[in-house]
Structures are given as C-alpha cells and as structure tokens.
Amino acid sequence: MTQERPYNALSGHLRKRFGERVQKIPLDAGFSCPNRDGTLSRAGCAFCNANGSGSGLLGQGLDLAAQWDHWRARLAKKYKARLFLAYLQSFSNTHGPLERLRTVLAELEALPGRVGLCIGTRPDCLDPEKLDLLAALPGETWLDLGLQSCRDETLRRINRGHDAACFARAAESAARRGIKVCAHLIAGLPGESADDFLAGIDFLNALPVCGIKLHNLYVCEGTPLAAEYRAGRYAPPERDEYVRAVCEALARLRPDIVIHRLTGDAAPGELLAPDWAARKQALLAAVHDRLARLEISQGCRIAG
C-alpha cells in the first residue's frame, strides 16, 4: 500500500516483484463463450454485449505475435515499459478443446518481454488438465475468474449459467496449483443492495483468491440489460452509491488481496447508462477522495 493509494494496487505488486513498471497487453486469441455459442445459451450474461471486450485486432488478421508487437511498440514508447503481461480478456479463454489452449499458451511463451499472463475465463470452463497447463506456464499467471455475485438468485437472474459454489471449486483448484485467482465482482446488479455486494467481499475473503476486480454495472447497447433499463425494470446505481460501496468493500477486504480494478468501463460508443460511468478518472478520484477523508485503508474494518 502507498500513501496515495491505501490499498494493495496491482501496479505496486508488479513493481515489487519485477523491480520495474509492467504493462498489460490485451490480446485476442479468438475464443468464444459457452454462454454465447449455444453450449449453455446464446443469450449471454444480461450485461454482456456480443463484442466480448475484444480489441478488434484479430478481426483485422493479426495473430497473437502481431498483436503483441503492435501494443508492445506503443506501450514501450508511451511508458518506457520493457516488461509486459499478456492479457487474454475477450470471452472465455479456456473454453474449448485442451489442445487449442495448449497451442495458444505455447505462442504466448515465445513472446519477447512477457513476464506473465492474465487470462479471463468462467469457472465452469476449467478442468484439471487446463489448470495444469496454466500452472506450467513460466512467469506470473493470473486467472481472471468471474464471480460477479455470491447470490445464486442473482446469478440466475443475470443468466450467468453457473453458481457461486462452482466459482469456489474453480478458485480452490487453481490456487492448489499455484495459479493466482483474480475474482470479478459487480456492484449494482439487478435486485441487489450494497449489502449483497459486500457479502461478495466476505465470500471472497474466505477463499484462496489473490486479486480482485470491482466493477460498477453499466448498461451497454445491445444487451438484455438495455431492454430491462428501457422498460424501467432496471436502474443503475448513482455514482455516490458506487463510491460508498467500493470504499466499504476495500475496508472489508483482506489486505493481501491485490486490487486489479476499482471501476469498469464500457467500450467507446456502447454506453447507454449511467453517464457517470464514462468518466473513469473522475470516478477514481472520488473513490480516492473518500478513502482519504474517512481514513479508510484496505482491510481496516476486518475484525481482530
């Protein structure tokens, strides 16, 4: 933790481990998602749009090595960075055959300047063989694993297609192999209160997770949530509610858990509501201001 950031930020964690700045490079390996390709459903999670957060470079014909070179040149120039984490963000990157994952990881292993991997997936897309492959990859491997809510009723409502127990099993299997689990949790889900969001923090504190991404739910065009919003059946939280919830979450979070994100942001042109979600820096400043004013640091409200 630093004086400016009274929480265990990823940037500080990486600098401590590698001795210098480390930048993430987003890569698109062309995976799909069982909640979109018909394995579980074709509707997807209520808040997800069909783009799956892709950078679009794969669609332009750039393979992983070419995507890496594209971003590496830019980030090296902008931040003088020499070390990088490969970040497979789009869709569920362990969905599909084992051999496909093996091929992708072999390509990643050869990338110059790569010191680790962040790989986003669902807890129901991991089996022991896939986890063994990930555990064998050199460098620091983070498994970005969506929980979103610890309430099964909410998970059903947003069409996640898995329950909280599935997340817990996957997190424990990954941790047993030395893979660092970064859990994703969303504030403002339909039917949930701030207390439900904070119950998710307590749920994660009891699991062997090493990192967390906190997201404010926003409504994107083209999602089932957009239809709910337009019909008046869903209203996103106010900005102040989210700021309060994040600060309280940090106060209750185990201090060893690394903070990967405190906000979510929509792709340009896709945000329907709330408008404050488009102003990420102002939102972060409001969080930092509240943390400082109330002298909140990560874990400060964990009893004993």
Residues of the shown chain interacting with ligand SF4 in the complex, contacts defined by CB under 6 A: 33, 35-36, 44-45, 48, 52, 91-92, 122, 146
**Coil, strand or helix: which one is 180?**
strand
Nearer to ligand SF4, 49 or 141 (CB): 49
Q: Which is nearer to ligand SF4, 126 or 286 (CB)?
A: 126
Which residue is associated with the tokens 């994952």? 101
Dihedral sign computed on CA atoms, order 172, 175, 179, 182: positive
Q: Which helix (H) or strand (E) holds 281?
A: helix 280-293
Shortest Cβ 108–ligand SF4 spacing (Å): 20
State which residue, 57 or 250, has the beta carbon closest to ligand SF4: 57
Q: Give the separation between CA 25 and CA 114, rounded to whole angstroms.
A: 9
Strands (E), the chain: 22-27, 83-88, 114-121, 140-148, 180-187, 211-216, 219-220, 258-261, 271-273
DSSP 27: E
Residue 141: how many other CB atoms lie within 10 Å: 21
Amino acid at 37: D
Longest CA–CA separation in the chain, Å = 55
Whole-number Å distance between alpha carbons of 130 and 156:
26
Give the residue with the Cβ less far from ligand SF4, 52 or 139.
Answer: 52
Between residues 64 and 158, which has the closer beta carbon with respect to ligand SF4? 158
CA 191/CA 178 separation, integer angstroms: 35
- The phi and psi torsions of 183 (rounded to 5 degrees) equal -85, 145
Query: Which of 8/90 has CB closer to ligand SF4?
Result: 90
In terms of CB distance, is 208 or 224 closer to ligand SF4?
224
DSSP type of residue 301: T
Give residue 18's identity as a one-letter amino acid code: F
